[in-house]
């Protein structure tokens, strides 16, 4: 049965979902207030990695011991603005709880693997379908360490990867130097995940996917979705700032803005902006041949079409808070130390900086599945650090849910209802009709 489905959000998850639903014969309308692939979207500024190895959650056993140090260091890998701490404390406590035991992180890794294990293959096919196959590179991904001892301190992380089918090639100092001669000599051990891939321009890629969806018949409405018209448990329309869009089903893939939409649909979700930064050095004198993750920086170093992108950092703050560009300076300074052939003073016009909002849940898993208000509203948001990589697999799950098909994956693990025991009772569901139409 062909349906009219509104996809809210034109990031990687929304774009992939629109294409997947159109393959199944549905009529699709994409509601997005910004430019697809534009700088306002998390999809634009991520680390560009498409990694089956990204199954390791941010919260791991023992992390609680490091949090006080992180909080005292305003430029450390994790920081919380002091003014935001009281509001964010419940999220942080759930975050630490989610990673408190090996059993919990193993379960999280399995759920992430469902979304990531074949992500390079899915993206290669999707990019070819959209006519931009050159934007996806199946080059492998390289994690580098000062020595094997440093690698072994992350034994649990690599065990989680191995348990979920990730394979890697270990490189000694000589092999690492041959693979990546631009790296600083302090790195003497590497783990190469040969199955990994990356995108050389995530913003351009997302824009191309939305363009492909449009060429296949999708309608684009430039407006912000603000709620739903649900009557007797069935969706009648999506409400936007430009009026209502009458439809049969909707997919909520609006990134950090999805929290308020979920509330409109009867679900309280624990979702916060895990703000990330990147810097791009254009025309770099030195850069890695394949993407690199230095263990002492926790930042993705990726050569993109616009230059060497260093991305990372975790800053918990409100969506409206001004960027702290000192955190971008941390990324730049680390890149200069990682690639000695880069000049110490790079002209300002060759450096661009970005900050964006990763929509992150405390347990590290996205929210996928039907809303409490109506099975016609399906969530697909909260992917945190793995949004780009997991977009196509999420789209496939969304299509299964909307079709009422048994999914090959346990969709219940991603359900919005999992937050109920933390957040208490669910909000009331408004089903007041509206008379404005678009």
Structure confidence by residue, pLDDT tens digits, 307-339: 999 998 888 888 888 999 999 999 999 999 999
* Whole-number Å distance between alpha carbons of 236 and 300: 43
* Whole-number Å distance between alpha carbons of 38 and 41: 6
* Whole-number Å distance between alpha carbons of 227 and 235: 11
Mean pLDDT of the chain: 93
* Whole-number Å distance between alpha carbons of 308 and 351: 10
Region of poorest pLDDT, from 74-83, 87-96, 265-274, 291-300:
74-83
Kindly indicate the confidence band of residue 434, based on its pLDDT and cuts at 50, 70 and 90. very low
In the CATH scheme, what is the homologous superfamily, with its name and number, of domain 1-54+198-270+362-438?
Answer: FAD/NAD(P)-binding domain (3.50.50.60)
* Whole-number Å distance between alpha carbons of 32 and 10: 6
Question: For position 409, what pLDDT does the model report?
Answer: 78
Kindly indicate the confidence band of residue 297, based on its pLDDT and cuts at 50, 70 and 90. confident
**Rounded mean pLDDT, 243-266:** 97
CB 182 within 8 A of CB 341: yes
pLDDT tens digits along 110-132: 999 999 999 999 999 999 999 99
Residues 6+ apart with CB under 8 A from 69: 76
Question: For position 431, what pLDDT does the model report?
Answer: 47
pLDDT tens digits along 63-101: 888 777 777 776 677 788 778 888 888 999 999 999 999
Kindly indicate the confidence band of residue 216, based on its pLDDT and cuts at 50, 70 and 90. very high
Q: Is the dihedral of CA 73, 79, 81, 85 positive or negative?
A: negative
Percent of the chain with pLDDT over 70: 95
Kindly indicate the confidence band of residue 436, based on its pLDDT and cuts at 50, 70 and 90. very low
* Whole-number Å distance between alpha carbons of 8 and 319: 19
**Rounded mean pLDDT, 164-186:** 98
* Whole-number Å distance between alpha carbons of 228 and 431: 8
Distances (CA, A) of 6 to 44, 338, 405: 22, 45, 19
* Whole-number Å distance between alpha carbons of 109 and 341: 37
Supply the pTM of this predicted model: 0.94
pLDDT exceeds cutoff 80 at 430: no
């Amino acid at each position: 049965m062909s349906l009219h489905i509104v996809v809210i959000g034109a990031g990687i998850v929304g774009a992939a979902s629109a294409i997947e639903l159109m393959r199944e014969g549905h009529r699709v309308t994409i509601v997005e207030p910004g430019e697809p692939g534009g700088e306002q979207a998390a999809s634009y500024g991520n680390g560009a990695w498409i990694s089956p190895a990204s199954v390791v959650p941010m919260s791991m056993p023992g992390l609680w011991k490091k949090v006080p140090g992180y909080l005292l260091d305003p430029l450390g890998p994790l920081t919380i603005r002091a003014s935001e701490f009281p509001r964010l404390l419940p999220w942080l406590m759930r975050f630490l709880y989610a990673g408190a035991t090996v059993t919990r992180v193993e379960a999280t890794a399995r759920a992430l693997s469902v979304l990531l294990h074949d992500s390079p293959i899915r993206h290669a096919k999707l990019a070819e379908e959209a006519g931009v196959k050159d934007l996806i590179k199946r080059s492998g991904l390289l994690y580098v360490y000062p020595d094997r001892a440093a690698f072994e301190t992350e034994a649990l992380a690599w065990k989680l990867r191995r348990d979920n089918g990730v394979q890697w090639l270990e490189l000694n100092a000589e092999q690492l130097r041959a693979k990546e001669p631009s790296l600083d000599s302090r790195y003497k051990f590497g783990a190469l995940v040969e199955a990994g891939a990356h995108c050389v321009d995530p913003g351009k890629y997302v824009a191309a996917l939305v363009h492909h969806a449009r060429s296949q018949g999708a309608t684009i409405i430039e407006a912000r979705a603000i709620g739903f018209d649900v009557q007797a448990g069935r969706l009648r329309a999506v409400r936007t700032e430009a009026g209502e869009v009458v439809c049969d089903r909707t997919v909520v893939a609006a990134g950090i803005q999805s929290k308020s939409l979920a509330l409109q649909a009867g679900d309280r979700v624990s979702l916060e902006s895990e703000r990330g930064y990147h810097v791009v050095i254009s025309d770099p004198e030195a850069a890695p041949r394949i993407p690199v993750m230095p263990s002492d920086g926790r930042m993705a170093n990726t050569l993109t079409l616009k230059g060497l992108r260093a991305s990372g950092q975790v800053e918990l703050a409100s969506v409206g808070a001004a960027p702290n560009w000192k955190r971008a300076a941390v990324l730049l300074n680390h890149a200069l130390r990682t690639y000695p052939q880069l000049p110490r003073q790079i002209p300002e016009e060759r450096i661009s900086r970005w900050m964006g909002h990763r929509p992150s849940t405390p347990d590290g898993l996205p929210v996928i599945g039907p809303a409490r208000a109506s099975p016609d509203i399906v969530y697909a948001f909260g992917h945190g650090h793995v949004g780009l990589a997991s977009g196509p697999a999420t789209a496939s799950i969304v299509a299964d849910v909307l079709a009422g098909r048994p999914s090959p994956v346990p969709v219940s693990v991603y359900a919005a209802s999992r937050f109920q025991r933390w957040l208490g009772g669910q909000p009331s569901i408004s089903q007041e009709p509206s008379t404005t139409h678009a």
